[in-house]
Amino acid sequence: EPEVTQTPSHQVTQMGQEVILRCVPISNHLYFYWYRQILGQKVEFLVSFYNNEISEKSEIFDDQFSVERPDGSNFTLKIRSTKLEDSAMYFCATGLASREQFFGPGTRLTVL
């Protein structure tokens, strides 16, 4: 069964450093999303992406965040200058239709 994959599974970084989280969508999926989950809290929407542009973004998704599909397959989330409060699980989700979402296993980001 096809799955969304994410790399790395765990990323440790120093505050102020840039990180790039990667997602490989299920083949032929057209809709892409990033969510995050701070430990012990609910999953929060960050951004949705379709047709090579952002469809919707949350207040969390400020100028420090960006997304792209650099090679038409991988979907990446970049945080330019990480803060302590960026520590969380980051989930990628992809779907063939706009309201269908299959989640990846997540990347645990730890900012020191």
Q: 67-96: which residues touch other proteins (CB under 8 A)?
A: 91, 93, 95
- Between CA 63 and CA 69 the distance in angstroms is 18
Distances (CA, A) of 92 to 14, 78, 112: 23, 13, 23
Residue 28 binds to other proteins (criterion: CB under 8 A): no
**What letter would DSSP give residue 112?**
-
- Give the residue, chosen from 25, 33, 75, 88, that forms a contact with other proteins under the rule CB under 8 A: 33
Residue 25 binds to other proteins (criterion: CB under 8 A): no
**What letter would DSSP give residue 86?**
G
* Total number of residues that touch other proteins (CB under 8 A): 24
CB of 13 or CB of 37, closer to other proteins? 37
Locate the DSSP E strands across 1-112: 5-7, 10-13, 19-24, 31-37, 43-50, 53-57, 65-68, 75-79, 88-95, 102-103, 107-111
CB of 34 or CB of 79, closer to other proteins? 34
Residue 8 binds to other proteins (criterion: CB under 8 A): no
Residues that bind other proteins (CB under 8 A): 4, 31, 33, 35, 41-45, 48, 55-56, 91, 93, 95, 98-106
